[in-house]
Amino acid sequence: MQDMEKLHHLGGGEFCFKWDGKGDVRGYRPPAGFEAMADLTDRHPVTGEQLAVSEWWMFLKPEGGEQ
Q: What pLDDT does 23 receive?
A: 85
**Per-position DSSP letters for the chain, written without gaps between them:** ---GGG-EEEETTEEEEE--SSS-GGG--PPTTEEEEEEEEEE-TTT-PEEEEEEEEEEEEETT---
Tens of pLDDT, residue by residue over 13-55, are: 999 999 987 888 999 999 999 999 999 999 999 999 999 999 9
**Does 5 or 36 have the greater pLDDT score?**
36
